[in-house]
Structure 1
C-alpha cells in the first residue's frame, strides 16, 4: 500500500470525476467552469465538444435533452453549420442553470426510490428521488426522441422512459423498490396493453423489477419543480376525437374505433364480436370500446362521433331507453364515463364516418381456425365438418409442414374451394411445436386413464379434452375455457361438494354474465403478458445451461448440413473442416 496514494478521514474528495462530500455528490467544478467559460461554437467540431461537456454533467441537469436539442439539430445537419438565435438563447440559459446545479443524494439500502417521469414533443426525462425529511434528487436522465419514438402517444412516451431507465440504470432497479409518481394511468395501461403491441414487450421487460405506481403529490424541491412544471405532459388535457361505428352481417358483428390525438395522429381498433348483436347493441359496444381506448391512452377530455341516431340521443338524455339490454349498456357507459373530466357524444353524417365504417365491416368477417388431425383423409373430413360447416369456407388455412398437410390430394381439394394454404416457417420451431405439445399432453392423460380403468381411447377422448380445457395453465394463469368464454364452467366435484358459487347461485345472473363478457379482453391481455413473461423466464433458465463457445482466427470448424428434401439417414450431418480467416 502506497501511503502517498491513501487518504483517510477526508470529508471531501474527487471520485470517478465527481465531488463526494458529506452533503452528497456534487458536480466537478472544473467541468462546470469549462462549460461556462466556453465561447459560442464556430464549427461542427466545437459543437461536438459542447455536447460532450453537457453529457458529462447530464446526471445533474434535469432538462439536459431540452438544453442540448438545438445543438444536436446542428449535428444532424452535418453538412452545414448554422448557429442561430435559438442556439444562442439555449446556450446562455444553460450557463445560468449551471450556477445552481443540485447536490445529488446517495440511495440508502432498504429504502424505496421514487421516480418522476416527463415527456415533451421531442424529449423524455426521468428524475430519481429518495425520500428523507424531504425529497432529494439522486439522478436525472434525459433522452431525445428519434424517428418512430417521436410518434409515440403520451402514455407510450412515459412507458418508454421507464423502460429506458431500467435499461440504463439497471442496478438501481434491481437493488431498490421503485415507486413511480405519476397522475397518469400508466400502471393500468401496462397491465392492459391491448391497445399497442409494443406495450406488451415493455411490460415483459419491466415485470422482473419491483415497480409500484402512486399518484403524484405536491413537489417542494426546486430542482424537481423545474423538472416537472417545465417538461410536463399536456396531452391528457387536450381534446381527443373518437369516431366509432358498427357492422352486423350474416358472418357476424364487428365494431371499430378511430381515435385522433391532439396532433392528428391516428389509432385504429377493430374488434369482432363473438355473439350476434343488433345494430344498436353493436353501436353501444363501439362507444364503450372507444371510451376504454381513450382511458388506456390517458385522455381526460373526449368527444365521441357516431352516425347512429338512437344511442347518441339516448346517452345525451334526449331519448328514453325502453330496452332492458340497451339500459345495461347505457349504465356501463355512464360508469366508464366517470373516469374522464369531459365526455361528449355527437351524431355525425355517415359520410364523415367512412373510415370507422370500413374498419367495422372488416372486423365482422374475421375468423380463425386450428387444425390438429394427423391423417390426410381425416384432415379433409375435419376441415369440412368442424370448419366449413360451422364457419363457412375460410380464405386460408395455417398448418405446419407435416406430410399430411402438404399432400397433393389435400392441396387440390383446398384449391377447389379457393382455400389458400399457408405454412409455419421451419426456422420458427415454437410455432411448429404447438400442436405436437398439445397431442403429447392428450396422449399422456389418455395413457393414465386407460391404465386405471381400461376401455377405448375414443370414448375417453372427450373427457380428456374437457379436463385440459378446464385446467389452469402455468403460463397464462387461467384455463383455456375461461379465455374463450369469459368464465369458468361448473365441474362435477363442485356439485358433489357444493362450492361457494353453487351454494350462492342466483338464477338472475344476466348482469354478472354481461360484466364478465365486457372484461374478457382485459383477462386475455393479462394472460398474454403473463405468458410472455413465462416464456422469458424459460428462455433465461435455458440460457444458463448453454456453454458459450468463441471461435478465433485460425480455428478449424465443421459446417452442419441442413436437411433439404429427402435426405438419407446415412448421410453425414457435417461437412468439411473449414478454417476461420476473419472474425466479424
Structure 2
C-alpha cells in the first residue's frame, strides 16, 4: 500500500464492516463497505492511549476501540448494520457476569446499535487497522489524542487460553451397594473429592456412566469450559468416542445423556489403567460400602434414581415468553425479522446475561436478578405472599421483597398488585376504610313538620314507673324535638307516641325515618303509617348516618342528662321536660334560629329573663304584645324561608368538607362484594382475630342514590334482603383459573342476593 485508500460513501441498506486493532500505545479501527466483493474504506482513525488506558487489558482495548468508533461514527452506526470482524470473544466478554463496571457501561452504550460479531478472515482492511495502530504514538495532553495514519502493518495477535480441568471418575457395584467416586482437579491442582451412593441397583457399566455424568454436572455447575476426562472403563470411553456401538437400550440412554452434557465442554476423554485411577476408585468403593461403615470426613451424596429416568412433568408454559427473544439473541445472535423489534431487543439485551443457561438481569440494587417466565413468576409471587415466610404484604412491599430475593420479570409490580388484591385472606382481614365512598347527600325537609325522625334511647337506669327507655322524635325542618320515657318499647307504645305527640299536635307528616329495629319495622306500625298515608323509610343497617338528625339530638339529650344529674341517675325521667325546654330554646347552627321560634314565630321566655329583666319584660303591654305576636305569625313564613336558606348553606359547607375526603367506589349489577362484619356477627371465641369482612355477595338490584343512599343486602342466615350503604361494602377480587376478575363497588344504592355466588376455583 503506497498511498492511503480513497474513502467511499455507503449506500442505503449497506451492511458495514469494522476492523479493530490495538497496540501497547494506541487503538484504531477501519470502517469499510463491500462493493462487488471489493472492500472500500468508509472511514479510518486511531486514538493514542492515555496513561490509565495503557494499563487496560487487551480485550478492554478492543472494546475501547469499538466504543470510540461508535461515538465518532454515530450516524453510520444508527443508519447501518455493523459487523465486527474479530477472532477474540468480544461479545462474550461484554455480556459476561464477571466483567468490570467499565465494560458493562460500554456494553449498554453499544446496545442501541445493530452490531453483530463474526470471525475475522485475512482481509486487507485488517492490515489498514493494524498499520494505524502500530504507527500511532502517545502525545502530550496539549496535543490532540487522535491521529490518522495511512501505512499498513502486521496485525498484533492476542493470545487467550482457557484453563483445563481434570476429572477422574470410577463406579462400583457389589452386593453391599452401588456407588460412584470422582476427583475434579482445578488448573491450580486443587482436588475436589466427591462420592455418590445409589439408592437403586445398577450394573458396573451403569455405575461408570453415573460417575461420569455426576462429574460433568459438577463441572458444568462450576463453569468449567475445558476438561480432560479419565476413566478406567473401556466400554464407557469407547462408546463416548464412537469406537463401540451401544446394543443395550440402557447404555444408549446413558450415552444420550452423556452427549447432552458434553456439548457444554471442550473435552478429551482417555482410558487409564485402574492403578492410575486409584483415588476415584477408593471413593467409589467407599460410597458402595455398607451405610453404617461410611466415614464422615468425605461427603457422600445419595442418588435416588438413575440419571436416565425421565421425570413425568406437565409443561405449564406454552409457547414463547418475554425471555425467549433476549435469550436467543444472547445465546445464538438470532434477531426477529422486524427491524424495530430487533433494535429494541438489541438495546435491552445489554442489561442481560446468561449464566448456566439461565437468563439474568443486571440490577442497580443487586448483582443479578433471575429472569422468570409468567408461570414461574406466579409460583414465586404466591409463595412470597402467602407461603411459609409470607406476611400477606401489600403490592409495593411484595414487589420490593421479590426484587430483594433476586427475581425479575417486566410485569412484576402489576402482578404483585393482582396477587395482593385477589388474595382471599387479605380481603377478609383488610383494614376497614374510614374515608367516605361517595359524596354526601343532604336531607332537607321541604316544610315544617313534614318529615320526622324516630329513634330510641336506652336502656338507662330504672326511673319512676320502671321506665328505662325514651323515644325521641325530631322534625327535620325546625329541629323541634319530642321525648317520652317508656317502660317497654313495644309496637303499641310507638304507635301511641306518634299519635299523641306528632299527629295530634303537628298534623300528619309526609315521611317518618327510623332505624331497622323491630319496634318500627313491623306489620302493625306499617299499617298505622299506611292508614294516614305516611311514607315509612328505614335507614341502612349499621349506618346511623342515614337518620343522622335524630341521632344528633339523641347525643344532645344524653349529654344534657349526664350533666344535669349527679348521683341520682334514676331521676332522669323528671329531668326530661327541663332538657327539652333547654334544647328547644337553644340556638341551632344549621338554621340560625331556635326550634321554638321556627315553630311558633316568637322566642320563648326563659327563667333568666325573670331574674334579670330584659327589655320586653320591663316594657310588657298586653295589647301591644298581642299585636306583635300577630305580626310575628304573619312574618313567620319569611322567617322560616331565611332559616331554610341558612340550613341549605350550612349543609353545603358540610358536604364540601365531607366530599373532600371521598374515595369513590363503584358498583354495578352482577358484581361480587364483601360486607363489613358487624359486632353482632363476630364470633366471641375469635376475639380481635375475627375477620373484618363477610361474603362474597352478588349485586342484583341497583337503586337510585337519591333515595337516601339505602341498599338491599342479604344475610347468610335467611333469604331476606337488607339495605346497606356502600360504605359498608368493598371490592371482592376472585381468582378463577389463574385469572382475576376485577369487581369494583360504587358508592350508590344496591340490592344483594342472599346466597353467596358459586365460584370455580
Which bracket does the TM-score occupy, shorter chain normalised?
0.3 to 0.5
Larger radius of gyration: 2
TM-score (norm 1): 0.34
**When you count helix as a share of all residues, which structure comes out higher?**
1
